[in-house]
Every structure is written in C-alpha cells, then in structure tokens.
C-alpha cells in the first residue's frame, strides 16, 4: 500500500523549491510491467527514465521460485529474473533511477510527477506500473512463514501444494476462485470465512458449494500458524468474542490469503479514473487512461490476472500506445 498522500503540486510555496526536469517517457515502477515497457520504449527511441520505487524489481523479488514465466524451462528465482529484466531494459538505454513518486499533476499539457527530494519530472508520456500489494491479516506468523507455506497467490504457488491440505482465508470472489483453483490441485481445501456468509457472487458460491474437497469453516478467524520448518497447521478461533468461542487447530501445509489487494494508485487518483478498489481504469484492449499521454500497465490496472507474464504483456502494450501517442501528436 502506498504510504504517500497525494500532494498539491500547484500549491505556491511547494513548486518554487522544486527542481524540474523534462523527459520524453517516464516509467514509474520496476516490476515486470515497468521493465517491459522500458525495453519497448527504449528500443523505440523514447529514452525512458524509469523510477524503481522502494521495491526494486517489484513483487517477484519477495518470492523464491518462479516456474511459470515462459523462457525459463528450469524455473528461476524472482530476484534473479528481475535483475535480468533490468539488464535488458538498460541494454537499450533505459535510465534506471532509485526513487519514489509522491504526487502527480496531470492537469496541464505536460504531465508532471514529483519524486522525493523535491524533484519534478515533466514528461511527454507517463507509464504507471506501480503494481498492487496483497493484503495480509497482520499476524506475526505470516512474516515468519513467508515463502514457507504462506502465500497470497494460488495461481503462483498452488502447484507446490499438490496433494496436500491447505487453507484459503477470505469470503469474497477472490477467495472463492482461489479455493476452487486449489481444489483442482490439493487434497483438501479449507475455506476460512470470518462471517456466516460468503461475499462472493452467487455463481462463485455455487462453484464452491459443488466442489467436494472444499470445506467451509464458517465464523472462523486465523490467529496463528505453527510448524518446525514450514507451516504444519493454523490456529483458528471459532465464533470469536461470543460465549461459544473455541480454539481450533487445523493441520495444513499451505496458508493462502485471499482478502484482496491494494493497487498503488493513491497519488494518481485526483486525475485518473479508478474503480471502487483503486485499480486504474484503462480503455479496454489498451493501456490508455482517461488522461491523454498517461498509460497504465501491470497489476495497478489489473484486478483479474495479476501475473508476471500478463504484467509484462501490458507493459509492452503501454510502451506501444505511448509511442503511437507521441507520433500522432508529433511530440
Ligand atoms: C510472493 C509472490 C509470489 C508470486 N509468484 C508469482 C509467480 O510465480 N508467477 C507469476 O507470474 N506471478 C507471481 N506473482 C505475481 C507477480 O509478482 C505480479 O503479478 C507482478 O509482479 C506484477 O508486476 P507489476 O510490474 O505490475 O508490479 P510489481 O511487481 O508489483 O511492481 C511494482 C513496482 O512499482 C514500484 N512502485 C510502487 N509505488 C511506487 C511509487 N510511488 N513510485 C515509484 N515506484 C513505485 C515498486 O517499487 C515496484 O518496483 C507473485 C506475487 C507475489 C507477491
């Protein structure tokens, strides 16, 4: 989640102290979407400047094995893969800078983004690839078992839990989808639901109810995880805060969070249309936002697929859209 509040770039005293630099193509974010946009933009001579943000390399740097990215038949670790992305972007002249965008101003002809240290970049085109952050419950054990049984992505990690018992936490559409996906791989899937109902759509609920190896644990909350060298079980509290409150030990090897993501779009919301969660809206089949010359790619505009390969694909689309925009407007 973005920790920065939108700032008003036009507020008098603020702008006076800022250093302004003009660039042709500004890319914000160093995940698969940002670096792929950079590769295409650099090869199209847009001279991209890419700001990495705090998480250099993006979400994949927090994972070990990536087995589903095409081109790596033996798999690859997330950090090494993202170093490869960066090298390829730099090979064609992308200027990679460490820094975080803290505010935007897309009100005028030039698109302006302010970075820490009072630096303002004025760009002919901006590609936003700031990703989305998975929500966690906030229990200490999630960090302790990160990469050792805890995951926020069933599509990414489900394969590692084939034939095992796992739990999915959540009651919405994502949780229902992740549970049914995992049910096709795992022996048993426990869907841990805080309330006595699912928020998921009727269609998704029907799929869950009709899947024989999904068991719903109604009115349960996960409070801890245990295990020697990885998750061996979860401690749940049933009917928390009621007279019937009860502590339950659940033997599982995988603990999947499916309680939503926060798109890192806060600083752009004043100018860009987003959905109710905050995902930047793009014109279908393109990366175009409602502001001409501003494009969005990757997880910050995709609440459905959220994969490295789809993020990379949309980064390519964004760079091509940006190049066409520039040639049509003869900038
Ligand atoms: C633990 C884990 C394992 C995963 N495993 C897989 C897998 O095996 N296969 C797969 O396909 N997908 C996997 N994914 C999903 C995949 O990582 C994402 O779909 C993908 O990284 C999205 O790419 P992105 O470029 O849109 O954003 P991200 O990778 O999220 O990158 C966002 C970038 O934006 C930067 N940023 C954010 N805010 C700012 C700001 N204000 N200013 C400047 N920069 C900013 C960040 O520093 C970061 O560099 C996994 C995700 C996680 C969390």
Which secondary structure element, helix H or strand E, spans residue 118, and what is its range?
none
- pLDDT classification of 35: cutoffs 50, 70, 90: very high
C-alpha closest to that of 311 among 129, 95, 47, 67: 129
**Distance between CA atoms of 272 and 229, rounded to whole angstroms?**
45
How much distance in Å is there from the Cα of 165 to the middle of ligand 1? Answer: 27
Higher pLDDT, 4 or 25: 25
Atom in ligand 1 nearest the alpha carbon of residue 300: 26
**Distance between CA atoms of 198 and 119, rounded to whole angstroms?**
46
Tokens found for residue 145? 């078992």
193-204: pLDDT as tens digits: 999 999 989 999
How much distance in Å is there from the Cα of 16 to the middle of ligand 1? Answer: 34
Q: How far is CA 28 from CA 23, 215, 219, in A?
A: 13, 42, 41
What's the rounded mean pLDDT across residues 289-308? 96
The answer to whether 29 and 37 are in contact (CB under 8 A) is no
Catalytic residues: 153, 156-157
234-288: pLDDT as tens digits: 999 999 999 999 999 999 999 999 999 999 999 999 999 999 999 999 999 999 9
**Distance between CA atoms of 283 and 12, rounded to whole angstroms?**
34
- pLDDT classification of 5: cutoffs 50, 70, 90: very low
């Amino acid at each position: 989640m973005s920790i920065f509040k939108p700032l008003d770039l036009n507020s008098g005293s603020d702008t006076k102290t800022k250093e302004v630099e003009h660039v042709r193509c500004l890319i914000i974010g160093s995940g698969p979407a940002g670096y792929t946009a950079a590769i295409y933009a650099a090869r199209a001579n847009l001279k991209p400047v890419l700001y990495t943000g705090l998480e250099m390399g993006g979400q994949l740097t927090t994972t070990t094995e990536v087995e589903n990215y095409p081109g790596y038949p033996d798999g690859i670790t997330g950090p090494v893969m993202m170093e490869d992305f960066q090298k390829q972007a730099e090979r064609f002249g992308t200027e990679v800078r460490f820094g975080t965008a803290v505010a935007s101003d897309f009100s005028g002809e030039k698109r302006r983004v302010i970075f820490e240290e009072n630096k303002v970049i004025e760009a002919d085109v901006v590609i936003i690839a700031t990703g989305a952050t998975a929500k966690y419950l906030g229990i200490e054990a999630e960090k302790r078992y990160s990469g050792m049984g805890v995951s926020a992505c069933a599509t990414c990690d489900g394969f590692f839990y084939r034939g095992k018992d796992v739990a999915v936490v959540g009651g919405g559409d994502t949780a229902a989808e992740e549970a049914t996906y995992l049910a096709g791989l795992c022996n048993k899937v426990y869907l841990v639901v805080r309330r006595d109902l699912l928020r998921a759509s009727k269609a998704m609920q029907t799929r869950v109810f009709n899947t024989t190896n999904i068991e719903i644990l109604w009115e349960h909350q996960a409070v801890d995880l245990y295990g020697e060298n990885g998750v061996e079980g979860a401690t749940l509290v049933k009917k928390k805060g009621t007279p019937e409150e009860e502590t339950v030990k659940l033997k599982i090897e995988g603990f999947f969070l499916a309680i939503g993501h926060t798109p890192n779009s806060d600083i752009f919301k004043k100018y860009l249309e987003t959905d109710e969660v905050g995902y930047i809206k793009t014109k279908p089949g393109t990366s175009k936002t409602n502001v001409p010359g501003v494009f969005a790619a990757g997880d910050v505009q995709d609440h459905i697929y959220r994969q490295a390969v789809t993020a990379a694909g949309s980064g390519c689309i964004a760079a091509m859209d940006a190049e066409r925009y520039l040639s049509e407007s003869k900038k």
